[in-house]
Amino acid sequence: MSKIVLYWHPMSSATPIACALAELGVPHERVKVDIHAGEQRKPAYLALNPNGKVPTLTVDGAPMFEALAIHLWLAGQYGVERGLWPAEGTPERLQAMAWSTWSYVTYGAQLVRLQTARDMGTPDDPHGQAGHKAMDELLALLDQRLASQPWMLGANYSMVDLIVGSVIGYSAYIGAPVQKHPHVLAWLGKVQARPAMQIDA
Ligand SMILES: N[C@@H](CCC(=O)N[C@@H](CS)C(=O)NCC(=O)O)C(=O)O
């Protein structure tokens, strides 16, 4: 098996990756990068991640960055044999890619608007309000999907639930209207109750 190292900081964008590694049962090392002390801007770290952020994952010493890319790589590499990610060439794989990207990119863009307004102490300014409204509409899409099936891909839990659930869970924490969408709320509770989501990360 490849040697996997996760560069992380507690309660950060690296946390869902630590949870994914736990869910998949992938042996790995963790290296803490203290982003409050500026360690992410040191040349040795920038050589692994020119973006200067956590997470970074190295695979036999070769680095990759961006949480979504890491999620998709881990799921494809370790998830199929564990029944947690659909096999290549199946319609379910297409849905897994689509919804994972939807959460980090489409929903994530609105999350950033709300987060920025919140960080500036003005969550109710027009920018924050627009982000809130857009998230409400996107959550309605998700609610519709989860009204007819218990998990993102159908009858069984998969890494898509962990990936999408991590983004939706964080958005709820910063004030997205998740509680208005009953199927999303119930599903999120189940995702967050998984043992892999309880790890100290
Ligand atoms: N889309 C990026 C976001 C990463 C990100 O924003 N990480 C934050 C922690 S949550 C960080 O490292 N911040 C340090 C900094 O900006 O200097 C990714 O997935 O790599």
Nearest CA to ligand 1 atom 1: 66
The sign one gets for the Cα dihedral 172, 175, 176, 177 is positive
Instruction: Specify the higher pLDDT residue, 77 or 128.
Output: 77
| The predicted structure's pLDDT at residue 1 | 82
Q: Is the pLDDT of residue 124 over 90?
A: no
In this prediction, residues 112-128 reach a mean pLDDT of: 88
Q: How far is the CA of 142 from the centre of ligand 1 (A)?
A: 25
Q: How far is the CA of 82 from the centre of ligand 1 (A)?
A: 29
Q: How far is the CA of 150 from the centre of ligand 1 (A)?
A: 31
User: What CATH number does domain 4-79 carry, 3.30.70.1060, 3.40.30.10, 3.90.220.20, 3.10.150.10?
Assistant: 3.40.30.10
**CB atoms < 10 A from the CB of 5, how many?**
17
- By most ligand atoms within 8 Å of CB, the mutation choice from 54, 104, 111 for ligand 1 is 54
| The predicted structure's pLDDT at residue 123 | 80
φ and ψ of 93, to 5 deg: -60, -40
Q: How far is the CA of 169 from the centre of ligand 1 (A)?
A: 17
Q: Is the pLDDT of residue 185 over 90?
A: yes
Q: What is the CATH number of domain 91-198?
A: 1.20.1050.10
Q: Is the pLDDT of residue 131 over 90?
A: no
Q: Is 65 in the pocket of ligand 1 (CB under 6 A)?
A: yes
Which residue from 61, 66, 77, 69 is spatially nearest to 26, judged by alpha carbons?
77
**Between the CA of residue 104 and those of 39, 98, 125, what are the distances in Å?**
25, 10, 23
- By most ligand atoms within 8 Å of CB, the mutation choice from 9, 53, 163 for ligand 1 is 53
Q: Is the pLDDT of residue 167 over 90?
A: yes
**Cα separation, 97 vs 179, whole angstroms:** 26
The domain spans of the chain are 4-79, 91-198
In which residue are the tokens 């794989």 written?
93
Strand order of the β-sheet with 56-59 is 29-32, 4-8, 56-59, 62-65
DSSP assignment string, 84-132 = SSPPTTSHHHHHHHHHHHIIIIIIHHHHHHHHHHHHTT-TTSHHHHHHH
In three-state secondary structure terms, 157 is coil
Q: Is 53 in the pocket of ligand 1 (CB under 6 A)?
A: yes
DSSP 45: H
pLDDT tens digits for range 2-55: 999 999 999 999 999 999 999 999 999 999 999 999 999 999 999 999 999 999
Q: Is the pLDDT of residue 125 over 90?
A: no
Q: Is the pLDDT of residue 148 over 90?
A: yes
Instruction: Specify the higher pLDDT residue, 97 or 201.
Output: 97
pLDDT cut 90: percent of the chain above it: 93
| The predicted structure's pLDDT at residue 55 | 98
